Structure 1
Amino acid sequence: MSAEFEIAVEREFPATPEQVWQAVTAETSAWLFPSEDMTGEELVFERPTHHVNRMEGPDGWFNQLEQIIEPRPNGRSFMRWQHSGVFPGDPAEGDDQEDGIRQHTVFYLHTLAEYLEHFTGRPVVFADIPGPESSMAPDSFEVLRAALGVAADAPVGAAASAAMAGLDGAIVDYNTANFIGLRTDAALYRFFGRNAFGGPVGMTVHHFAGAAAETLAATYQEWLTGLYAA
């Protein structure tokens, strides 16, 4: 029997409702992943305040995203992001999966805020780089953390010391037990400790300075794979 979930996250953004709407509906490569990865039926499209997209599959499977956007003073906005659906895999693991989805959602919406504050409207190139199977070990995210030069207690605004292409001058914009965000003048680098949720460590790059997607993917795939080489 499938188990359903419903997660709601609320936060304020440094942008107008129209800018938030544009980012959520058309500029997802800049903070989440390309919109073609979220194809489904748009149930509500009330620009710029209410959007609902739903995907359905066999045996009652569905995945639904809803955004309710409200204006706030000084050109800011408030959004309620609601994600509901059916857990993949074993329903008995639902609590752990819900926690993982919630942590990812909070990180994604933080990345949205970073995009809106620092890069809004700029063309973006997106790369998604999965770690190898060996990065599923319990200590794998700590290996990555050491390579990035980001201590567990590093505050937002701290400098990273990663010896990695593109990360010169990177600062920490997010740092929790399972997620790290780094920002440079050209890009947002996101690191995911999915080994805590039964998967491999991974990273994404949202690049705003004209890099080639193939080059980004190849460069960082080699780096991340080499990090976990036996």
Structure 2
Amino acid sequence: MSKEFEIVREFEVDATPEEVWEAITHETGGWLWPMEYDGESGIGPFGSTLTNWDPPHRVTSRTEDVRFPTQSLNQLDHTIEPRDGGRRAWVRYVHSGIFTDDWDSQYDGASKHTDFYLHTLREYLTHFAGRPVAFATLHGPGASTAADAFVAVGRALGLADDTEQGARVTVRGPAGRELDAVVDYRNPYFLGLRTDDALLRFFGRNHWGAPVGISVHDFAPDADAKADESGWQDWLDGVFDQS
């Protein structure tokens, strides 16, 4: 049965409103995935309509014909206000729309993803704002939908089950390469690792019946998105190799 939803988050960040605006509307590959906003034409990501375009204060994108089996309407609204004389910014984020099926699970997944994405936005603004990025995203095999799949991912990285957010760690990446990182986010559903040149995001979407996912935001001068995708895909497939 169709039912409306609304997810609201508010936060402050050590960035100017202009920096936040750029991150939300033009530098999206640094923390979410590459998207295009065209304020002059009023067209937002994935063919959405921009019902508000007031840089650097507010942007709203609305899609009324969502091509997704469990959703028929989607709207994203960002309001940005200056704090501390414009040296910091306050952000209000509202995600609303209509879920058409499996409402509780859809809302739970969207809400938890929101917290992780907005955390990643703050990490980007704090550590990498304005740097060119190579973005890659990938998904695990069918076996990564198992109930314990995300636990297996953490262990494959070399993390103890009780390694907490904020810990400095050395993890095992593609081809056995060791990566020094900070665990910038961790709960049973998501894991964020921040290196000197990258934000590595791990998604425990097995909790909602989907494969585990990884996104790589690589800010190194020689970053190669295809190489990142290939290397982490091999790594993730290897975690669930049953042979």
TM score, norm. by length of structure 2: 0.88
| % same residue | 47
Q: Does 2:105 correspond to 1:96?
A: yes
Which residue of the partner structure matches residue 57 of structure 2?
49
- Decide whether the 8 Å contact of 2:150 with 2:206 is kept in 1: yes
Which residue of the partner structure matches residue 211 of structure 2?
200
For residues 9-37 of structure 1, give each alpha carbon's deviation from its aligned partner in whole angstroms, at most 9, with x where no partner exists.
11111101110011001111000111059
Which residue of the partner structure matches residue 38 of structure 1?
45
Q: Compared with structure 1, are the counterparts of its residues 212 and 57 closer, same or farther at alpha carbon in structure 2 (3 Å cutoff)?
A: same
Runs of 5+ consecutive residues of structure 2 not aligned to the other structure: 37-43
Which residue of the partner structure matches residue 24 of structure 2?
24
Q: Does 2:161 correspond to 1:149?
A: no
Q: Which moved more, 1:108-117 or 1:156-165?
A: 156-165
Q: Compared with structure 1, are the counterparts of its residues 172 and 215 closer, same or farther at alpha carbon in structure 2 (3 Å cutoff)?
A: same
Hey, which bits of structure 1, 4+ residues long, moved more than 3 A? none
- Decide whether the 8 Å contact of 1:182 with 1:188 is kept in 2: yes
- Decide whether the 8 Å contact of 1:152 with 1:175 is kept in 2: no
Q: Does 2:224 correspond to 1:212?
A: yes
- Decide whether the 8 Å contact of 2:155 with 2:161 is kept in 1: no
Which residue of the partner structure matches residue 9 of structure 1?
9
CA distance in 1 between partners of 2:216 and 2:158 (Å): 18
Structure 2 counterpart SS, 1:61: strand
CA distance in 2 between partners of 1:167 and 1:77 (Å): 36
- Decide whether the 8 Å contact of 2:171 with 2:180 is kept in 1: no
Runs of 5+ consecutive residues of structure 1 not aligned to the other structure: none
Q: 2:13 is matched by which residue type in structure 1?
A: F
1:41 Cα deviation from its structure 2 partner: 1.1
1:58 Cα deviation from its structure 2 partner: 6.8
1:167 Cα deviation from its structure 2 partner: 5.2
Which residue of the partner structure matches residue 184 of structure 2?
173
Superposed, which structure 2 residues align to 1:44-123 within 5 Å? 44-57=52-65, 61-73=72-84, 75-87=87-99, 91=101, 93-123=102-132
Structure 2 counterpart SS, 1:224: helix
1:95 Cα deviation from its structure 2 partner: 1.6
1:226 Cα deviation from its structure 2 partner: 1.2
For residues 148-198 of structure 1, give each alpha carbon's deviation from its aligned partner in whole angstroms, at most 9, with x where no partner exists.
233343233312332214652111000111100000001000000000011
Q: CA RMSD in A?
A: 1.9
Which residue of the partner structure matches residue 187 of structure 1?
198
Which residue of the partner structure matches residue 128 of structure 1?
137
**Matched pairs, number:** 227
